[in-house]
């Protein structure tokens, strides 16, 4: 750290309070380190343990049946959350800041945050990115219609909104989460009209050779889910292709092809899921090197086994060595057990970096390997389906700016042959979501049109990666007074031109 740099606010800043972030925070706090944990959710838990604390307190019959439907894997987070809470407010301990959105992370350990109408920076000697995964974007005809939602969205509404879907429901896609949700719905008395899977029996057969002893429990669990759905008479198909949603103001029907035959079903709610992928918004904007995971058709940050990222920024752009580590599903999809195991590994590596400790224990590393050993099987059994083929010309790719695959193809053919030129020309990726939903499709279209191979290119990530209200920019706090940062506000949808402001800190 250079002499002029402000003092760090904590030894470690952790982005994300899911299983990975909590496991790391507890390990660091136990070792006497000060930790700041930033998370945009209102309570600890991340995706899998969302609203767990509140739901455990709910003793009503409806609350109890919800807990039963969500199953033991959900309740399993209670102990970790309790340990996390025990360190919150202690000194030194965990300074937990919920409802706080991170909009910038720099390789030198500076993190930009937004809470309501306040924004600022905090600095950590080390930073751990535990911001999790997102569902794979699935551009298909009609996917922007009201009435199309992701499986994760419906699960979130169950856990945090106590709302269950009603009406004519179709689930389409692939992956454990889709089957998990179908089961949870079934247990709550919701009967979908169809569970349409894109995976096929041949995928399972191919996957079988990847089966390791560690994979038997998930396998038995999955077969149990399928069996229960079958018993309940839920209609199910495999090998679903060419999904489309139809309607003018909302979904009215869905159509798809199975075994060469086109079918149409009336539908009020289409729930889609095509597996989850690491969220790369923060790593990409922080300038971390990304790599392409072919079988999963997704990017992930290139890291050492203990999570250390590699900065691609030229040295003059950062003040010292890269102190960013990535853990949990943000690093590599592995589910909650792998996330907790790796959170501990990353924390041990951070402790070593802070005071030259021994680094990750063999025990902790083994736990990661064990938890990840089921992945090759799951990856082969549930290959990307809805997003496997590139979308037709008429299908919207960029939801924010409503750009179709055809429009992007045409621009690429007319000479906009790199991601940033394409973004500048079309505004693809410039809307409020900053490319989270469109980037992977745009990159694949570009590679396809230019016959390029290798790791697909990304948009250059630019802070703020999440919009900051102007009022909050004006009150930005926590930076060295001598330092000035340049914020680009071109992500604001109402700004047709690129608008930048110089934001001197308090």
Ligand X SMILES: Cc1cc2nc3c(=O)[nH]c(=O)nc-3n(C[C@H](O)[C@H](O)[C@H](O)COP(=O)(O)OP(=O)(O)OC[C@H]3O[C@@H](n4cnc5c(N)ncnc54)[C@H](O)[C@@H]3O)c2cc1C
Task: List residues binding ligand X (CB under 6 A).
Answer: 15-21, 38-41, 46-48, 73, 101-102, 130-135, 152, 155, 177, 276, 282, 328-330, 335-336, 339
- As a whole number of angstroms, the distance between CA 114 and CA 464 comes to 10
> Which of ligand X, other proteins, none interacts with 63 (beta carbon under 5 to 8 A by kind)?
other proteins
Residue 23 or 438 having the CB closest to ligand X: 23
- Out of 68, 214, 237, 252, the residue judged to bind other proteins by CB under 8 A: 252
Closest CA to 432 of 493, 353, 344: 493
> Which of other proteins, ligand X, none interacts with 295 (beta carbon under 5 to 8 A by kind)?
none
Closest CA to 419 of 444, 400, 436: 444
Residues with Cβ within 8 Å of 194's Cβ and at least 6 positions away in sequence, in order, are 170, 171, 172, 234, 235, 236, 237, 265
Under rule CB under 8 A, residue 320 binds other proteins = no
- As a whole number of angstroms, the distance between CA 155 and CA 149 comes to 10
| Residue whose structure tokens are 């703020």 | 464
- Out of 1, 5, 56, 160, the residue judged to bind other proteins by CB under 8 A: 160
> Which of ligand X, other proteins, none interacts with 80 (beta carbon under 5 to 8 A by kind)?
none
- As a whole number of angstroms, the distance between CA 109 and CA 101 comes to 16
* Contact in structure between 138 and 274 (CB atoms under 8 Å): yes
String of b and e for 450-461 (b: at least 16 CB within 10 Å)?
eeeeebbbbbeb
Residue 9 half-sphere exposure toward CB, CA atoms < 13 A? 21
Under rule CB under 8 A, residue 150 binds other proteins = yes
Under rule CB under 8 A, residue 436 binds other proteins = yes
Least CB distance to other proteins at residue 403 (A): 9
Under rule CB under 8 A, residue 432 binds other proteins = yes
- Out of 118, 156, 242, 312, the residue judged to bind other proteins by CB under 8 A: 156
Under rule CB under 8 A, residue 425 binds other proteins = no
> Which of ligand X, other proteins, none interacts with 12 (beta carbon under 5 to 8 A by kind)?
none
Least CB distance to other proteins at residue 470 (A): 5
> Which of other proteins, ligand X, none interacts with 146 (beta carbon under 5 to 8 A by kind)?
other proteins
Sites for other proteins among residues 179-238 (CB under 8 A)? 188
Helix, strand or coil, per DSSP, at residue 403: strand
Least CB distance to other proteins at residue 482 (A): 24
> Which of other proteins, ligand X, none interacts with 39 (beta carbon under 5 to 8 A by kind)?
ligand X
* Contact in structure between 204 and 176 (CB atoms under 8 Å): no
Give first-to-last CA distance, the chain, whole Å.
21
- As a whole number of angstroms, the distance between CA 191 and CA 230 comes to 11
Is the Cα torsion angle 52, 56, 58, 62 positive or negative in sign? positive
Strands (E), 450-499: 484-488
Residue 426 or 463 having the CB closest to ligand X: 463
Closest CA to 28 of 345, 299, 273: 345
- For other proteins (CB under 8 A), the number of binding residues is 63
Sites for other proteins among residues 38-97 (CB under 8 A)? 40-42, 47, 54, 60-63, 65-66
> Which of ligand X, other proteins, none interacts with 66 (beta carbon under 5 to 8 A by kind)?
other proteins
> Which of other proteins, ligand X, none interacts with 167 (beta carbon under 5 to 8 A by kind)?
other proteins
Residue 47 or 51 having the CB closest to ligand X: 47
Residue 363 or 402 having the CB closest to other proteins: 402
* Contact in structure between 480 and 4 (CB atoms under 8 Å): yes
Helix, strand or coil, per DSSP, at residue 103: strand
Helix, strand or coil, per DSSP, at residue 145: coil
Under rule CB under 8 A, residue 15 binds other proteins = no
- Out of 19, 45, 152, 175, the residue judged to bind other proteins by CB under 8 A: 152
Sketch the per residue contact string, 339 through 358, with other proteins: x for CB under 8 A, - otherwise: --------------------
Binding span for other proteins by CB under 8 A among 71-79, 309-317, 322-330, 432-440: 432-440
DSSP 268-291: SEEEEEE-EEE--HHHHHTTB-EE
Q: How many CB atoms are located within 10 Å of the residue 221 CB?
A: 15
- As a whole number of angstroms, the distance between CA 104 and CA 491 comes to 14
Interface ranges with other proteins (CB under 8 A): 40-42, 47, 54, 60-63, 65-66, 99, 101, 117, 134-135, 144, 146-150, 152-154, 156-158, 160-167, 188, 247, 249-250, 252-253, 266, 268-269, 279, 399-402, 431-433, 436-437, 467, 469-471, 474, 492-494
């Amino acid at each position: 750290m250079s002499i002029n740099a402000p003092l760090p606010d904590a030894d470690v800043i952790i982005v994300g309070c899911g299983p990975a972030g909590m496991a790391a925070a507890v390990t660091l706090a136990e070792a006497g380190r000060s930790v700041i944990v930033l998370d945009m959710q209102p309570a600890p838990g991340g995706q899998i343990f969302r609203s767990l604390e509140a739901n455990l307190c709910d003793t009503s019959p409806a609350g109890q049946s919800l807990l039963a439907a969500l199953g033991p894997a959900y309740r399993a987070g209670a102990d970790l959350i309790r340990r996390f809470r025990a360190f919150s407010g202690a000194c030194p301990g965990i300074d937990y800041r919920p409802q706080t959105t991170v909009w910038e992370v720099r390789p030198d350990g500076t993190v930009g945050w937004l809470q309501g109408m306040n924004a600022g920076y905090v600095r950590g000697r080390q930073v751990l990115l535990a911001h999790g995964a997102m569902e794979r974007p699935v551009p298909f005809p009609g996917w922007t219609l009201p009435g199309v939602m992701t499986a994760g969205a419906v699960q979130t509404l169950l856990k945090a909104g106590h709302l269950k879907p009603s009406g004519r429901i179709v689930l389409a896609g692939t992956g454990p989460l889709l089957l998990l949700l179908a089961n949870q719905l079934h247990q709550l008395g919701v009967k979908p009209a169809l569970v349409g899977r894109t995976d096929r029996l041949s995928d399972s057969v191919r996957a079988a050779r990847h089966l390791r002893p560690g994979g038997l429990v998930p396998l038995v669990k999955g077969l149990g889910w399928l069996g229960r759905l079958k018993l309940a008479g839920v209609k199910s198909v495999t090998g679903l292709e060419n999904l489309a949603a139809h309607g003018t103001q909302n979904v009215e029907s869905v159509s798809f092809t199975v075994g060469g035959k086109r079918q149409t079903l009336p539908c009020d709610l289409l729930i889609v899921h095509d597996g989850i992928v690491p969220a790369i918004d923060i790593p990409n904007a922080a300038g971390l090197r990304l790599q392409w995971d072919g079988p999963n058709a997704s990017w992930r940050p290139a890291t050492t086994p203990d999570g250390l990222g590699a900065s691609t920024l030229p040295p003059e752009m950062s003040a010292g060595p890269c102190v960013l580590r990535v853990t949990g599903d943000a690093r590599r999809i592995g589910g909650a057990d792998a996330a907790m195991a790796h959170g501990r590994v990353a924390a041990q590596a951070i402790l070593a970096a802070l005071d030259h400790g021994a680094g990750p224990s063999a025990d902790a590393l083994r736990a990661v390997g064990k938890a990840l050993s089921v992945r090759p099987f799951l990856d082969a059994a549930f290959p990307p389906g809805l997003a496997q083929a590139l979308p037709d010309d008429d299908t919207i790719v960029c939801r924010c700016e409503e750009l179709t695959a055809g429009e992007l193809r045409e621009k690429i053919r007319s000479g906009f042959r790199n991601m940033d030129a394409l973004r500048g020309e079309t505004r693809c990726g410039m809307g409020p979501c900053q490319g989270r939903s469109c980037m992977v499709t745009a990159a694949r279209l570009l590679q396809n049109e230019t016959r390029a191979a290798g790791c697909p290119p990304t948009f250059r990530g630019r802070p703020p990666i999440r919009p900051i209200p102007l009022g909050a920019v004006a009150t930005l706090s926590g930076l060295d007074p001598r330092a000035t940062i340049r914020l680009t506000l071109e992500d604001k949808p109402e700004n047709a031109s690129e608008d930048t402001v110089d934001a001197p800190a308090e």
